[in-house]
Structure 1
């Protein structure tokens, strides 16, 4: 079985660079930075159903118009029958599913998946509530940056959104690793200002790239 898109998104050297950047940042702050990459944030079963209905109906309409005298008696059962092969096709190709869904639906899916990952990966369980998650969802071309309560009160979501936009632009420009490392460093500078390192600090979360 081949590697997933998330596993191939960064090279081995880039993963090591991201890990080292995270380590360097955490040497100056009690904050915990985690980077996670996923293939997609949702299975989009609604897109599969909607797409199958639309494509099945469209092809049925064309066939009925060209060969069956636009008969409704043929159009309806044919559209029903065509629904199933199109659903099999859409089940295999996730990008096609999202084409039938709104940008708002995709963005909401990424936000919910990022929030879920934030909880599942333990970012809410740091001692000082200072976890930061850089979340990249490949299918949707979306990046979310989330922070726990301690950091959020000092930095705010607007600043986190700027980091997300910075990484998104880097991905679009073909320099994902550079953009991500730069954003981590900039976030680290803010963390070091508001949450400087202490003698009793421990590394509570993994520094390596998380992939699902």
Structure 2
């Protein structure tokens, strides 16, 4: 999902227009992916490697080398217990290694990774990324603590909206649901610029109702969309 310079300009213009009616500040971020989720892939791969071979044994799956390999067809008529145990462990370890590698590679495919990653984990990491951007770009240090950050994470299919201290005190958190819904609609329609424009207008209306513009109303944060 790509944004042209024209799209970015539309979003910046929407932010500027919304901020002219309020002392609040709106900051927008678009992230392709907020986490690699390597740990999620590792967990699934480890679970498969540990569980699948053990689950196959009750169904008669034998843990032994294929006949004739690796001994070129020569076998002892009565193998010792230690030899059989060693062979079984070697086959078990090989199957585990192959399963681990296979599941890890499969879960690195983006649609598969999103499917196997619990929504709670995706939500938590998008929230953490939004907080990081909130702090990194100084949305928390506006003069009256009236900053709003809107972040959309494309790979996670999540939108996060964070408001600063004074807004939290005066505005009910549920009020921002319309802005989030507007952005989600735009993203689902393949038009992130239109989604951000609609969300910014919604936020601007809320901010204007609670935080009218000051006589001196400087633009404290950039109006440009940040793309990660």
- Structure 2 length-normalised TM: 0.77
CA distance, structure 2, for counterparts of residue 154 and residue 59 of structure 1: 54
Contact 2:179-2:198 within 8 A present in 1 as well = no
Q: Which residue of 1 aligns with 2:97?
A: 81
Q: Which residue of 2 aligns with 1:154?
A: 170
The structural deviation recorded for 1:69 is: 3.8
CA distance, structure 1, for counterparts of residue 201 and residue 161 of structure 2: 14
Q: Could you list the runs of 5+ residues in structure 1 that have no partner in the other structure?
A: 1-7
Secondary structure of the structure 1 residue equivalent to 2:149: strand
Q: Which residue of 2 aligns with 1:3?
A: none
CA distance, structure 1, for counterparts of residue 181 and residue 49 of structure 2: 38
Q: Which has the higher contact order (CA 8 A, sep 6+)?
A: 2
2:107 is equivalent to residue 96 of structure 1: no
Aligned partner (choices 133, 148, 170) of residue 149 of structure 2: 133
2:133 is equivalent to residue 117 of structure 1: yes
Contact 2:139-2:147 within 8 A present in 1 as well = yes
Q: 1:9 to 1:54 in 2, by over 3 A?
A: farther
Q: 1:133 to 1:181 in 2, by over 3 A?
A: same
Contact 2:149-2:163 within 8 A present in 1 as well = yes
Q: Could you list the runs of 5+ residues in structure 2 that have no partner in the other structure?
A: 65-87
Q: Which residue of 2 aligns with 1:70?
A: 62
CA distance, structure 2, for counterparts of residue 84 and residue 71 of structure 1: 17
The structural deviation recorded for 1:95 is: 4.5
Q: Which residue of 2 aligns with 1:34?
A: 27
- Further displaced range: 167-176 or 139-148: 167-176
The structural deviation recorded for 1:191 is: 1.1
CA distance, structure 1, for counterparts of residue 25 and residue 62 of structure 2: 63
* Aligned CA-pair RMSD: 2.9
CA distance, structure 1, for counterparts of residue 46 and residue 111 of structure 2: 17
The structural deviation recorded for 1:46 is: 2.1
Aligned residues: 204
- Structure 1 length-normalised TM: 0.82
